[in-house]
Amino acid sequence: MPFTPPSEFLTRPDLKGTFGMSASTHWLASGAAQSVLERGGNAFDAATAAAFVLHVVEPHLNGPGGDMVGIVSPVGRPPQVLMGQGPAPAAASIAHMRRLGLDMVPASGALAAAVPGAVDAWLLLLRDHGTWELSDILDYAIGYADNGHCLSGRACAVIGAVADLFFEHWPTSAALWMPDGRVPLTDQLFENPAYAETLRRLVAAGRDRRSRSERIEAARTEWGSGSIAAEIDAFVRQPHRHSSGRDHRGVLTLADMAAFSACWERPVAFEFRGSTILKSDAWGQGPVLLQALAILDELPEEEVDPSTAVGAHNVLEALKLAMADREAYYGDGLDRSQLEVLLSREYAAVRRKEIAWHASTEFRPGVCGIDPYVPPLVEAAGQASGGATGEPTVTVTGETRGDTCHIDVIDRWGNAISATPSGGWLQSSPTIPSLGFALGTRLQMSWLDPASPSALRPGKRPRTTLTPTMVMRDGWAVAALGTPGGDQQDQWQLSYLLRTLIGGYTPQQAIDAPTLHTTSMPGSFWPRTWEPGGAVVEDRLGEGVIGELVARGHRITRAGDWSLGRLSVVTRDPSSGVLGSAANPRGAQGYAVGR
């Protein structure tokens, strides 16, 4: 075998069945999705129900005030990208930030909020591809918000990290997340009645409409231009503490929300070893995975095995090159013709020649017909850039880096979805008390330099890290996968794809296998630092492999045995129709279910 054999030990079984499979970053969301399938819903009904449950049970990792990106594959129709990334508000400009004395978009506070896109996107999915009524879909989330759910230890730890901020500056957040004046205990039953009422308002908005589609459209209107949007508008006008250490007003308005609509977009694709890998466009980082696959595709199989020193080295170096191109070229507005160059085999062949025996410590974008942008290259001080070696990093001022949620569902008909919701974290900005959630901070991924392809511009989408993946073969979805992890999302998915598409690993074997990622690029999250030559690895790679990576010049951060990656996946064998699923054991939270 060209690849290192997988471990005989599996943390969970590879699930197999013919009815339906659901996987996500939280067992309650997976259970809700599977419940919908059992009651006759399709994959898109199931994913939508799971998404609203994730708002309730993983509030430190996503929320209704955030965003989402999905890839859907309806049977008999072309796959599409579900675009739920909202743009910068009309008043969110470089000039405005500079007038406030800022040299970067804050990492916490409503000034960093893009237009919330997640809720509208899920409602669009339900309208166009679902079959259930919205009231039935939202019953799961309303139940957990009304009656309570056991709050995870990690959520409690996040609340503890920002407790002083809540008490001193964000009293509405303290009232919701610390109802007894203290940090909640792990597994404490936790309720969010305000969010339950917000969801009931969405249902009530369409109660007098005649058709299912009209009822969903009424909910979209209530969210984007009705009383919910008006309450968001009024709340963010109140000055509040930001990570800058000063109080600012947000700039998001009802008009901004009313002008936004989630939409369907054409995915970008790369043919790899008999499969078509689908990603979202370059307004996000999705094409990074395709570029890395293109660079590695012509190397011998034994030289792309992430479990060997040479394979791990090549993976890290390919990712550095692709990530440099992300910084130099990606953004809302990159021409498709330029993206085609970046994803071409000819361009990949040129980039492949830049991989040497020794690890690069340079920032090296390629040449694709337009001038590359070079961002500020500020080295991280004694820690891995981006702050994410697995769990999200949350500071006392609410700055958050490196994690989110994920959902994959496939049904008995072969409909499939991979979706990554994020933002709107409980620690991102003050809770809007009447609504039970906070706004996101996605604008922190925009540069305050007009020369940058991802510069902050009114009406333009920030370059998101949300990046689900769909694998197609013969017109069928054969895998829908993704992971939380910020800048690491495409990196961890790369190792998974190499191991399954070349190494012959089963999904659970590939998820369980030790992984790694580079920090040798400017991070997407504040304070946007990098670590030249930096690599974060799980110790299970082994002393021999890690030692050779060090000898090759990689600046290694050991992350422990089980700390990197949060992958989940659902699969379908096109020859037999057998479905499969697998989920990540790290963090003891993700779960796959199915039959």
Q: How far is it, in rounded angstroms, from Cα 406 to Cα 404?
A: 7
Tell me the average pLDDT across 515-533: 92
- Integer angstrom CA distances of residue 445 from 107, 125, 330, 428, 470: 9, 26, 12, 14, 25
Which helix (H) or strand (E) segment holds residue 39: the answer is none
CA 209 and chain centroid, separation? 34
- What percentage of residues in the chain have a pLDDT greater than 90? 92
Across 91-116, b (16+ Cβ under 10 Å) vs e yields ebbbebbeeeebebbbbbbbbbbbbb
Across 372-403, b (16+ Cβ under 10 Å) vs e yields bbebeeeebeeebbbbbbbbbbbbebbbbbbb
DSSP letter for each residue of 367-412: -SSSPPP-----B-SSS-GGG-SSSPEE-TT--EES----EEEEET
Q: Are 137 and 143 in contact (CB under 8 A)?
A: no
Q: Map 107-160 to HEC letters.
A: CCCHHHCCCCCHHHHHHHHHHHHCCCCHHHHHHHHHHHHHHCEECCHHHHHHHH
pLDDT of residue 401: 53
pLDDT of residue 395: 55
Q: How many CB atoms lie within 10 A of CB 122?
A: 30
Which pair of tokens denotes residue 298? 């012509």
The per-residue pLDDT for range 32-83, each reduced to its tens digit, is 999 999 999 999 999 999 999 999 999 999 999 999 999 999 999 999 999 9
Say whether pLDDT at 300 is over 70. Answer: yes
**CA dihedral of residues 60, 440, 464, 334 (deg, nearest 10):** 180
- What percentage of residues in the chain have a pLDDT greater than 70? 96
Phi and psi at residue 292, to the nearest 5°: -65, -40
Say whether pLDDT at 532 is over 80. Answer: yes
Say whether pLDDT at 389 is over 60. Answer: no
Q: Are 138 and 203 in contact (CB under 8 A)?
A: yes
The per-residue pLDDT for range 117-174, each reduced to its tens digit, is 999 999 999 999 999 999 999 999 999 999 999 999 999 999 999 999 999 999 999 9
pLDDT of residue 317: 98
The per-residue pLDDT for range 185-244, each reduced to its tens digit, is 999 999 999 999 999 999 999 999 999 999 999 999 999 999 999 999 999 999 999 999
Identity at 39, one-letter amino acid code: R
Residue among 383, 392, 385 nearest 159 (CA): 392
Q: How far is it, in rounded angstroms, from Cα 183 to Cα 93?
A: 37
CA 305 and chain centroid, separation? 25
Which pair of tokens denotes residue 274? 């008999």
Q: How far is it, in rounded angstroms, from Cα 374 to Cα 264?
A: 31
CA 494 and chain centroid, separation? 15
Q: What's the length of the chain?
A: 595
Residue among 381, 355, 373 nearest 452 (CA): 373
Say whether pLDDT at 386 is over 70. Answer: no
Say whether pLDDT at 396 is over 60. Answer: no
Tell me the average pLDDT across 84-89: 98
Q: How far is it, in rounded angstroms, from Cα 260 to Cα 117?
A: 8
Tell me the average pLDDT across 2-17: 95
Residue among 409, 580, 569 nearest 38 (CA): 409
Q: Which of 402-411, 530-539, 546-555 is the least confident region? A: 402-411
Cβ contacts of 420 within 8 Å, gap of 6 or more: 68, 69, 70, 404, 405, 406, 407, 466, 467, 468, 482, 484, 489
User: What's the half-sphere exposure (Cβ side, CA atoms, 13 Å) at 27?
Assistant: 9
pTM (predicted TM-score): 0.96
The per-residue pLDDT for range 369-385, each reduced to its tens digit, is 889 999 999 998 755 44
Q: How far is it, in rounded angstroms, from Cα 437 to Cα 241?
A: 17
- Integer angstrom CA distances of residue 242 from 108, 418, 436: 5, 33, 20
| Furthest CA-CA distance within the chain | 69
DSSP letter for each residue of 174-238: HHHH-TTSSPPPTT-EE--HHHHHHHHHHHHHTTT-SSHHHHHHHHHHHHHHSHHHHHHHHHHTS
Which helix (H) or strand (E) segment holds residue 561: the answer is none
At 390, is the pLDDT very low, low, confident or very high (cuts 50, 70, 90)? very low
Query: 3-class DSSP state for residue 594?
Result: strand
Q: Are 464 and 444 in contact (CB under 8 A)?
A: no
- Integer angstrom CA distances of residue 107 from 154, 354, 428, 429, 436: 20, 35, 8, 9, 21
